């Protein structure tokens, strides 16, 4: 199997937010399955990028354009 560049985004928030509750709690709502997929792809030898979007940062900053994106199946 050839080595792929994979980017996985865990969408914890629906959009940008500045609420105090969201700042404190959104990080705790991250899913375990995208993290499992990141580890599994890394063990298979792929180059993996993982971003957990909690509503405060820009998603584009952590991703590389040439990634092959795998959306979270829970969405």
| pLDDT at 75 > cutoff 50 | no
More confident residue, 70 or 14: 14
Q: What element of type H or E holds 8? A: strand 5-11
Long-range contact list for 11-16, CB < 8 A, 24+ apart? Answer: 11/53, 11/72, 11/75, 12/52, 12/53, 12/54, 12/55, 13/53, 13/54, 13/55, 14/55, 15/55, 16/55, 16/56
Decide which of 31 and 74 is more confident.
31
Per the structure block, which two tokens stand in for 52? 């957990």
In this prediction, residue 73 carries a pLDDT of: 52
pLDDT, tens digit (0-9, with 9 covering 90-100), for 7-38: 888 888 777 777 887 777 777 777 889 899 99
């Amino acid at each position: 199997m050839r080595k792929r560049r994979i980017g996985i985004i865990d969408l914890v928030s629906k959009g940008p937010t500045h609420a105090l509750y969201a700042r404190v709690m959104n990080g705790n709502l991250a899913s375990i399955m995208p993290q499992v997929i990141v580890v599994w792809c890394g063990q298979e030898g792929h180059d993996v990028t993982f971003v957990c979007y909690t509503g405060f940062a820009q998603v584009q900053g952590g991703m590389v354009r040439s990634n092959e994106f795998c959306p979270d199946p829970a969405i």
